[in-house]
Structure 1
Amino acid sequence: MKTRSTYYPALLLISILLGCSEQTKKVDAVEAAVQPVFKIVPSAHSGVTFQNNVEENFNNFFDVFAYVYNGAGVGIGDINNDGLPDIYFTGNEVPNKLYLNEGNLKFRDITESAGVQGNGKWNNGVTMIDLNEDGLLDIYVCKGGWQETDSQLRNLLFINQGDLTFKEEAQAYGLDESGYSLHASFFDMDNDNDLDVYITNRPDSFDLPLTQMVSQKKLTPVNSRDKLYINEKGKFREIGVQAGITNNFGYALSLVTADLNNDGYTDIFVANDFAESDYMYINQKNGNFKEQIKRATNHISMYSMGTDIADINNDGWEDIMVSEMLPEDYKRSKVSMPSMDVEGFYAIVNSGMHKQYMHNALHLNQGNGFFSEISQLAGVAKSEWSWSTLISDFDNDGNRDIFVANGYRRDVFDGDVQDKLRMFIQNNRNKFQSPQEMLEKGFKDFIEVYNPIKVRNYVFRNKGNLQFENATDQWGFNEPSFSNGAAVGDLDNDGDLDLVINNLDDEAFVYENTSPAGNNYLKVKLNGPAGNSFGIGAKVTIYYNSQLQYFENKTVRGYLSSTEPIVHFGLGKEKKIDSVKVAWNDGKVSHIGSVDVNQLLEVNYASSIPEPKRAPLLPTVFAESTKELLNTPFVHHENEFNEYKEQILLPHMFSRSGPFITTGDVDQDGEEDFFVGGAAGQPGSLYVQKNGKLLRKSGAVFESDKVYEDMGSALFDVDQDGDLDLYVVSGGSEFAEGSEKYQDRLYLNDGKGNLTKSVLPKIISSGSCVVPYDIDGDGDLDVFRGGQVVAGTYPKSPRSYVLINENGKLVDKTLSISPGLYEVGMVNSAVWVDLNKDGKSELVVVGEWMPVRVFEYQEGKLMDVSLEYGLENTHGWWNKVVADDLDGDGDQDLIIGNLGENYKFTASVDKPFQVFAKDFDRNGTNDIFLARYYGDSLLVPIRGKECTTQQMPVIGQKFPTFLSFAKSDLQTILGKDIENAMHFKAYLFSSVMLINDGDKFSIRKLPVEAQLSTVNGIIINDFDHDGKKDILLAGNKFDVEVETTAADASPGLMMKGLGGLNFKCLKTFESGFFVPYNVKDIQPIKIKDDWAILVGINNEGLRIFRNTRTSSSRGIALAK
């Protein structure tokens, strides 16, 4: 957790607040009845009475030592090889404890006789590992509080003597690390069959400003950085800096070592507290590591705490879960979450650190080194003040679930803490001579100003298809606690995973897994080579019924803890496993066929064989060919403009919407060319194709118009001279409503590709798209031009235009032909398509807060026939619409890209997402209130008190405390003014297919892989030449307000057609289409005899992906 950056030191607060007035607060408690699946084993039965008590006093509280309440760890492992896993607890201010498992969930405290109490204060993480190659688990303990001597800081290594006693030998092994250590993970970094180790250390100070943290990273201080030790014949030598563990100065709270890219070498993931980014060190297979977190992810969690790595979707690639501290309860989230302003967010980013957001992160492994953060889609973003997280199959159904340990002794993020301190000061000001004395002598009363966050632990049940549900109630986690470290193991050998949790100030929890019998399992015990007797890092894959499960054997998981070194698989109702494969670290493999379920399977390294070489995969469908095809790069340069300055509550930017692309044969040489638009201040560019290369054509005409923000464009014959003219929409939000800089532009073609600016009717609205069609049937092409936004007045509908072609001149006929399109909404996309097979096309229009709208030309008018097609309650945040016959029944269907399901906002018909906007405080600016439901009926604001008060200072006067704001619904906050505000609803945020059933549409959601982010670009074509239509999607929305996580999880997606409406979603390493950028448009272009894909990326270079398949090269490589 990051406290210093978000609350005042207590002494400073007391000094500031002397003389201030009193306010009181209260936090609601939540109780819930549950049906237990886990059951606490009472200490009277288990014998486990360990309690990690930490004394709170003037010299030992959060303002002196920020990690005073962070708790300690727990290790599970069989120390005497009797088949029963034992338990070891670390204590911060109490001795460590070792409990021997005597069966039937009974344990005996053997700490003193074993000699493993730990010397001095503040033991943190524990790792149970065999280091002396005798087949017995040893115990490594990391130490580090805040005021210990050097000898008290040194880590401990207890070597198992084989008789239930241990001998401390850290110095002899070279592992008596003397930094402020949190945890250690032993792993085989160089595949030489012995165990090396990564140790996380924190700096000795918690109040460093951002600039000092950045400078310290470059200095690589000896004791304030993480360490990497290589094992040299049983002795350990530190090699971190020379191995690439550099620029390392973080407050690491957890780490996991795992092979993140399936290249056979173990990588390192470190979750860092405070502003520092998490680290992802990728093993370079030569003794070196390269940090790649910003390359591998588009954002991370901010207050990164616990971590686990495991395969959540059974695709053979391990995913990453990082816990954070976002409250699930609405009221607590408004009172106890620190705010983030634009300046603070970008100060972190501009210092070189990653984009970070305040919620749990679930990073889905895409198989090519990129991870999509999907916590909001998966339903695991919120879990209170969280520590350990463990990905394990607790109900043995074949899908791994997620456990999260919760709680914190003092709510240091309480937004009303200043008011609480005012009350404390008012009651005590006359008793003391100074703020220091007041704090010291009145400490007991002072500390109680900060409420405890004693909450239940969480568990999320994996439902499959990247979906989880909160099963905390059903699974029996109903005990409020300050829980920190946690570990899993089968304590009673009944085939399911039990759970042990180290609590602050309470007895540890021993949870027996009592899930009903019926689901099967397999446990795998690895007997590894001499230097790695438990096979740490070996990969186990099981195959059954055309499915697979995969797990890399690792024990350091969660937070400060170590799990039982047994690989566990739940199997549901499966009764037989076809085969088990173990891939050992050195490249050898073990294969076991026809394996029975419900057993402990032992696999011996001694019987392994060299792995046969794999057959190479076929080429991907696409390959990036930007440098090969583009003679002069096009780089979109976004102009700087802060839309939030006037509209703090605006949900996302409209000034960063491009670039957009249009294709056509401009110079009439039989080869397709393209135009790509520029941002305000940047001219657009025209590229012509010559012999399969795309050459930029000089464009003085575009240079003179660079003041405009280019949006959508179209190439079509306006003047009926047989060539393609260029229409470019002007948009953005940099300019005032009605500005001449929203004037669209028309460039006429001389037949050779030379363009000259012509005239258009006066256009005064910020636009998005233009789609030509012969609306009136007179043989020439008319235009629908969509309006996107009214600058400064979101979500007001701007003007859209119907321009009729009269003898080569486009004339505004909107009101006479289609008044319903005049202010149809915040349009993002439109398409002309014949939906009813009458030979005439209808106009389909979509946009933000809009339903899917259909307009049909009837008797000289474009009439709204949307309801006739069953399109009521289709309001969404639509970005793109494309038409094609998707099901092969002869009529045209639609694919529409939406916001997606991996976002802070959700919408449904029963609980629509809403917006209210008006100048509520009558100061001349538009005030925006996004709103959602809390419970079944209360409509509450999305944004918090702090930013809302910045937009409307009257809010701070009306609601002086965070709690008073949190307890108020939107009606209470805005009063009667809400009744005549602009008001829109959204019912659907999923990207969908609309299947044409003849007279109505049926809605079919796109697969979950298409819901990871916004969809801005859609192309339908038979890319792999197998006779079936495929779908290509791209998108993302990076430029959102900083308290809302950017929609950035899409790496691009190819949906391979299987016939009808059946598709297989390919991984990017299968398709070759990898675009994890802020993609605004994708367009196909014919290059020689096949298609390529043009990708327009905001503020980055245009990319081109060439189709590697030809009509004679059918089929596609699919990963096994």
Structure 2
Amino acid sequence: MFRVIAGWVWLTMGASLFAQSAANGKPTSAPEFVDVAEKAGLSMQIVSGEKDTKKYIIETTGTGIGIIDYDNDGWPDIFVVNGKRLGPQRGSEPMNHLFHNNHDGTFTDVTNKAGITGSGWGQGVCVGDYDNDGFDDIFVTYYGKNRLYRNEGNGTFKEVAESAGVAGTGGQWGTGCAFVDYDRDGKLDLVVANYVDFDLATAPGPGERASCMWKGAPVMCGPRGLKGASNVLYHNLGNGKFEDVTKKAKIDQTPGHFCFSVSTIDYDEDGWPDIFIACDSTPSILYHNNHDGTFTDVATISGVAFNDDGREQAGMGSTIADYDGDGHLDIFKTNFSDDTSTLYRNKGDGTFDDATFAAGLGQNTQYLGWGTAFFDYDNDGWPDLLLVNGHVYPEVDKYKLGSDYEEPRVLYHNLGNGKFEDISRSSGPAITSKWSGRGLAVADLFNDGQQAAVIANMSARPSMLVNQRPTKNHWLELKTVGTKSNRDGIGARITIQAGGRKQVQEVRSGSTYNSSSDLRVHFGLGGATKID
């Protein structure tokens, strides 16, 4: 069954051609992920303050990745958010980059040609066709004024945030974002998470306060000791402009949180999109859509505000999928080091259980997690989990504090029985190599049925993870096109049946960590050759 809100669904089906798989769809060998970023042409450097020391918290949060088919040629392109350095710039100002997919495994930097040369303290990105003209647009969050790049349909973009009413005050620190049609009027609205109230001119330095110490070492200050910021909701007026409805929609009823990634999810399956926000050192937020233009934070009563111990965690990234195949969408969240990530299993009654340990995910607590994505790397029909890690304190290396600043990625294989297996060490050099990573987006970059991952690394080039040992399992890719709904079909819930079981996904903008993955929906089919 395809449940699409007044629109079309384009289908692509296929099978991978190269490696072996067992008859039941389970892999006979581990994947072999390699980093092909340099070979593919992603050679730019991501800047986030200074490299070897972090004096202020603004230098630590990194940037996101956006996947967008900006020229509608059917091949995903890549947008990389960039930051800046402290003090006077040395040489040219770091800027965001747009890479065009050449259809041959390589990408061309078209940043200048596309007119999308933004600079500043860039943070997150989300993709969506806010004006329903058939060409996806790009929204970028900043410490400072946010930017909205309207796709002109000719390979170029125009920055229109001020005229559209979504630039913000300039005093906010935007992080995660997502386009979502929260009132189902056929126009994409915009939700923006904000982190902390922060002023570089008055910010304390390392060790100057109690909150500026970690395990006895002086480090940058925050987020504790700083004031949490309010999230923002913009309603699309349909004339190229947005209205700030934060108070009207009661989004402002969650003060004091330090918010990062935004994931839309119809968790209670009432046909109205809800919003989950992972928050740092404060409870997570789950905005329930009340169907009347307002939201209520139900994170506590739904079971996703805290972990199973009733303790708030330092949430960073989040990802959504039906990991156990029961037809209900679940939530996975990455957290700070010396803690587990958190898997919230949707019980189907509007509440969640903390299934972290039951699912085998209560490990790797030495890592500090950021971007994360459910993605079916072996196309067996069960979503696997990729985690991007990296510490915020370079001082952990200097003072030997039990963690490394640069950390390996983690890959969990879904066993299909509600449990995961950590296969990181046997999954290739792109998983085991160490980086300080942040944003993550996944996409079938080469239209071969294999989902690749693009990662934003601190003070380094991006990574592009490609599995060189794919299975022969079949796959299905869907692109939703709205006619009465928003043009991208964002919010559509899609259920398929193949190989004797059902799978469910939603079309969403945003998620992972301050990033935006391919808007096409990818299903692994295992050995099935058709959908019922």
* Alignment partners' CA distance in 2, 1:515 and 1:79: 30
* Other-structure match for 1:312: 323
> Deviation of residue 567 (structure 1)?
0.5
Task: Select 1:463's aligned residue among 415, 418, 423.
Answer: 415
What does residue 102 of structure 1 align with?
A: 102
Change (3 A) 1:509 1:214: closer
Q: Contact 1:410/1:451 (CA < 8 Å) preserved in 2?
A: no
Q: Is the counterpart of residue 287 in structure 1 residue 293 in structure 2?
A: yes
Aligned residue identity for 1:233:
G
The corresponding residue for 1:296 is 302
Quick check: 1:271 aligned with 2:278? yes
Equivalent runs, 1:416-815 vs 2, <5 Å: 417=399, 452-476=404-428, 477-529=431-483, 532-578=486-532
Q: Which runs of 5+ in 1 are unaligned?
A: 1-33, 145-152, 218-223, 327-336, 338-357, 421-448, 579-1120
Matches within 5 A, 1:902-981: none
Match 2:153 to one of 151, 162, 165: 162
Kindly report which structure 2 residues correspond to 1:1055-1070, keeping only aligned pairs within 5 A, or say none: none
Deviation at 1:404, TM superposition (A): 0.3
For residues 153 and 290 of structure 2, the distance between their equivalents in structure 1, rounded to whole angstroms, comes to 38
Aligned position for 2:32 = 37
Q: Is the 8 A contact 2:132 2:187 kept in 1?
A: no
**In structure 2, the residue corresponding to 1:511 is in which secondary structure?**
strand
- CA separation in 2, counterparts of 1:308 and 1:50? 27
> Offset at 1:485?
0.5
> Secondary structure at 2:357's aligned position in 1?
helix
Structure 1: distance between partners of 2:30 and 2:459: 26
User: Residues of 2 paired with 1:309 and 1:167: CA distance?
Assistant: 32
Q: Return the letter of the residue paired with 2:470.
A: P
Alpha carbons 1:35, 1:473 under 8 Å: kept: no
**SS in structure 1 at match of 2:388:** strand
Structure 1 residues 409 and 200, CA, compared in 2 at 3 Å: closer, same or farther? Answer: closer
Name the structure 1 match of 2:333.
322
Q: Kindly state the Cα deviation for residue 55 of structure 1 after the two structures are TM-superposed.
A: 4.3
Greater helix share, structure number: 1
Partner of 2:269: 262
Q: What amino acid is aligned across from residue 293 of structure 1 in structure 2?
A: A
8 Å CA contact 1:302–1:359 kept in 2: the answer is no
Corresponding residue for 2:7? none
C-alpha distance in structure 1 between counterparts of 2:48 and 2:106, whole Å: 27
- Aligned partners of 1:532, 1:138: CA distance in 2, in Å? 13
Aligned to 1:53: 47
Say which SS state the counterpart of residue 269 (structure 1) adopts.
strand
Report Cα offsets for 1:951-981 as digits up to 9, x if no partner: xxxxxxxxxxxxxxxxxxxxxxxxxxxxxxx
Specify every segment of 5 or more residues in structure 2 that has no aligned partner in the other structure, as ranges.
1-28, 85-93, 212-222
Helix, strand or coil at the partner of 2:162: helix
The letter for the 2-side match of 1:312 is: Y
Give the C-alpha shift of residue 201 in structure 1. Answer: 1.1
- How far apart are the structure 2 equivalents of 1:191 and 1:36? 41
Offset, 1:315: 1.4
Q: How big is each residue's C-alpha offset from its partner over 1:186-240, in whole Å with a ceiling of 9 and x where there is no partner?
A: 1011111111111111222488999x999978xxxxxx31011111223211111
Q: Distance in 2 between matches of 1:126 and 1:575?
A: 36
Residues 395 and 232 (structure 1 numbering): CA distance in 2 closer, same or farther, change over 3 Å? same
Larger Rg: 1
Secondary structure of 2:432 counterpart: coil
SS of the residue aligned with 1:377?
coil
After superposition, give the CA deviation of every residue in 1:654-698 in whole Å (9 maximum; x if it has no partner): xxxxxxxxxxxxxxxxxxxxxxxxxxxxxxxxxxxxxxxxxxxxx
Structure 1 residues 214, 283: CA separation in 2 closer, same or farther (over 3 Å shift)?
farther
Is the partner of 1:172 in helix, strand or coil?
helix
Identity of aligned residues (%): 32
- Structure 1 Cα separation of the partners of residues 64 and 486 of structure 2: 23
The residue that corresponds to 1:199 in the other structure is 192
- Equivalent position SS for 1:473: helix
Match of 1:237 among 239, 243, 249: 243
The residue type equivalent to 1:469 in the other structure is: E
One-letter amino acid matched to 2:275: I
Q: 1:269 to 1:116 in 2, by over 3 A?
A: same
TM-score, length-scaled by structure 1 = 0.40
- Structure 2 match to 1:618: none
What displacement does 1:379 show?
A: 1.7
State the partner residue of 1:963.
none
How far is 1:487 from its partner?
Answer: 0.5
Report whether the alignment pairs 1:379 with 2:360.
yes
**Corresponding letter in the other structure for 2:195:** R
Secondary structure of the 2:113 match is helix
Equivalences for residues 181-200 of structure 1 within 5 A = 181-200=174-193
Would you say the 8 A contact 2:396–2:403 is kept in 1? no
Distance 1:226 1:271 in 2: 12
For 1:575, give the aligned amino acid: T
Could you tell me which residue of structure 2 aligns to residue 66 of structure 1?
57
Q: Determine if contact 1:133/1:530 at 8 Å carries over to the other structure.
A: no
Aligned to 1:588: none
Which amino acid counterpart does residue 116 of structure 1 have in structure 2?
I
| Aligned-partner Cα distance in 2 for 1:139–1:573 | 37
C-alpha distance in 2 between matches for 1:154 and 1:42: 30
Work out the CA distance in 1 between the residues paired with 2:107 and 2:227: 46
1:197 counterpart letter in structure 2: L
1:350-394, Cα deviation, whole Å (9 max, x unpaired): xxxxxxxx3211000001111011111212233411100101111
Contact kept in structure 2, 1:124 and 1:181, CA below 8 Å: yes
- Matched position secondary structure for 1:323: strand
The corresponding residue for 1:819 is: none
8 Å contact kept, 2:197–2:226: no
Q: Which residue of 2 aligns with 1:22?
A: none
CA distance in 2, matches of 1:103, 1:233: 34
SS in 2 for 1:464: coil
CA contact (8 A) 1:124 1:560 kept: yes
Paired residues for 1:841-856 under 5 Å: none
Change (3 A) 1:142 1:284: same
Quickly say closer, same or farther: Cα 1:484–1:215, change in 2 above 3 A.
Answer: closer
Residue 557 of structure 1 and its aligned partner are, at CA, apart by: 1.6
> Any idea what the Cα deviations from partners look like across 1:900-934, whole Å, max 9, x if unmatched?
xxxxxxxxxxxxxxxxxxxxxxxxxxxxxxxxxxx
- TM score, norm. by length of structure 2: 0.82
CA–CA separation in structure 2 for the residues paired with 1:531 and 1:519 = 33
Q: Which residue does 1:130 correspond to in 2?
A: 129
Q: Tell me what 1:582 maps to.
A: none
1:112 is aligned to 112
How far residue 113 of structure 1 moved from its aligned partner, in angstroms, is 1.3
Kindly state the Cα deviation for residue 402 of structure 1 after the two structures are TM-superposed: 0.6
Aligned partner letter, 1:92 = G
Which residue pairs with 1:251 in the alignment?
A: 258
* 1:271–1:55 CA distance, 2 compared to 1 (3 A): closer
Q: Which residue of 2 aligns with 1:441?
A: none
The amino acid that maps onto 1:190 is: D
